[in-house]
Structures are given as structure tokens and as C-alpha cells.
């Protein structure tokens, strides 16, 4: 089946550091990728939708200058958390949609970000 | 109108029992209803999904029941096993819009 790979799985870094998270679709071309944030014991909150070759669409309340999204190819999207602070600590999950068929989103295994 | 309401928030079931999780929605434009299973520290994995033109879909021990007139759908897990202990999310999608709308999640615990 379809696989989405997310890297790294865990990041611990100091406040003020910028952190990049990669999301790759391994066996299909993902015309659209999604980035979610999940707090403990809560549901997934959509942060932004990215389409290959165009600017990401951010959900209301999500700072686009804080969370930079790049979707440069049909198999790779990146999320950069710029100048991260402790309140940015969370579980970040990407998903990808197979544009060739009417498929549901396939999710990565998430990145646990901890800002000290 | 974009919300999907899920209940219960947590559920404890004995091994071999039936686990039932319910969801309700308002937007009649939703046309795809998946259920996801999430283990701690992992991303959600698609479990089973249904479209509104059928009232029930079964895959192994997992069944979705769909009531279009009531705008409700539910997940039934038959012969629940300790390995089924996880958080379950219902979701809804308007196919053309792509965005998934998630329920609040149900933490299921199956006691051995």
C-alpha cells in the first residue's frame, strides 16, 4: 500500500532554533500534502495544505511566517518551524494525497518536537 | 457546519466484547467517511471507510453503520482484542475539497 515517510521522528532542541521536518510519499506522486498539529489527547488540527509548485494555504490562526511550508516536488514537502519556542512543542503529522486516483490521505508517523 | 462530533471520549471494553463509537455530522455535502486508528507516537492509519450510498460496510471485525437521514455513523469492533487498544478518529470529507474534518477522538481500552 501507499507509504508516507516523515523525518525526523523526534527532535529536541533549544529555544530559538529553526527545525525542518520532511514528508515524503514513497510509492506515489502526491499533488497535495497536508500538515497537522496534534496536542496530547486531542484531535488533529490542520495547519496548512500544500500543492506541488504553489504556495501553501494556511488555516486561520496559523502563522505562515512561523511555519514555512515548501512543496517543491511531487514526493516531498517540508515544514520548517522558525525560531521555535517551547509553546511550539507538539506532535506534527503530515499526510499526502495520491492525485492520480480518488484516494484518502495517507499519514506519516509524525514528528515529536520538543523545544527546551 | 464543518464539525464532526464523536462520542464517547473514552471507552473500556472487555476482551471479546463489542466496541461501539459514534459520530454525527451536520454538513450534508460530506460524501466520504473514514475511520482512523492511531497508536501512541504514531500517525493515524486508515481502518475502514464508507460512502453515503451504502448503509453498512464490513471488513473483518470492523463494521461501519451509516444512517444518512440521521447524519450519523458508527464504528463497531466485534470480538475486541487488547491489540485494538488505541485512539480512534472518525472523519468526513467533501471529495472535491480534499480537507478531512476529524472528530474529537475516542480512546479505546480493551481489558484482557
Residues 6+ away with beta carbon under 8 Å from B53: none
The beta-carbon neighbor of B42 closest among A41, A49, A110 is A110
Tell me whether B40 touches chain A (CB under 8 Å). Answer: no
pLDDT at A102: 59
Chain B residues near residue A104 by CB distance under 8 angstroms: 32, 34, 46, 49, 93, 100
Per-residue pLDDT tens for A45-55? 999 999 888 88
Q: Greatest CA span in chain A, whole angstroms? A: 42
Q: Are the CB atoms for A86 and A56 separated by under 8 Å?
A: no
Cβ contact, residue pair A102, B95, below 8 Å: yes
Cβ contact, residue pair B100, A105, below 8 Å: yes
Closest Cα partner for A75 from A50, A109, A93?
Answer: A50
Q: How far apart are the first and last CA of chain A?
A: 37
pLDDT category, A27, cuts 50, 70, 90?
Answer: confident
Per-residue pLDDT tens for B48-66? 999 999 999 999 999 999 9
Tell me the residues of A at the B interface, defined by beta carbons under 8 Å apart: 4, 6, 32, 34, 41-44, 46, 49, 93, 95, 97, 102, 104-110, 112
Per-residue pLDDT tens for A61-102? 999 999 999 988 889 999 999 999 999 999 999 999 876 665
pLDDT category, B1, cuts 50, 70, 90?
Answer: low
pLDDT at A39: 93
pLDDT category, B76, cuts 50, 70, 90?
Answer: very high
Amino acid at each position: 500500500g501507499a507509504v508516507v515517510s516523515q523525518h525526523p521522528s523526534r527532535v529536541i532542541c533549544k529555544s530559538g532554533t529553526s527545525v525542518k521536518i520532511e514528508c515524503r510519499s514513497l510509492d506515489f506522486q502526491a499533488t497535495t500534502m497536508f500538515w497537522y498539529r496534534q496536542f496530547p489527547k486531542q484531535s488533529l488540527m490542520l495547519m496548512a495544505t500544500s500543492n506541488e509548485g504553489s504556495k501553501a494555504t494556511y488555516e486561520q490562526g496559523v502563522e505562515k511566517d512561523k511555519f514555512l511550508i515548501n512543496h517543491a516536488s511531487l514526493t516531498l514537502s517540508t515544514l520548517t518551524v522558525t525560531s521555535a519556542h517551547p509553546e511550539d512543542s507538539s506532535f506534527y503529522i503530515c499526510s499526502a494525497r495520491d492525485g492520480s486516483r480518488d484516494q484518502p490521505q495517507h499519514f506519516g508517523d509524525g514528528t515529536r518536537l520538543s523545544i527546551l | 457546519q464543518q464539525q464532526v462530533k464523536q462520542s464517547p471520549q473514552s471507552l473500556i471494553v472487555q476482551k471479546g466484547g463489542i466496541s461501539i463509537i459514534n459520530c454525527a455530522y451536520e454538513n450534508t455535502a460530506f460524501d466520504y467517511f473514514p475511520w482512523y486508528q492511531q497508536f501512541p507516537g504514531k500517525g493515524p492509519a486508515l481502518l475502514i471507510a464508507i460512502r453515503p450510498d451504502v448503509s453498512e460496510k464490513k471488513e473483518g471485525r470492523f463494521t461501519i453503520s451509516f444512517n444518512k437521514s440521521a447524519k450519523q455513523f458508527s464504528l463497531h469492533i466485534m470480538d475486541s482484542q487488547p491489540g485494538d487498544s488505541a485512539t480512534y478518529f472518525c472523519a468526513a470529507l467533501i471529495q472535491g475539497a480534499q480537507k478531512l474534518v476529524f472528530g474529537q477522538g475516542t480512546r479505546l481500552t480493551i481489558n484482557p
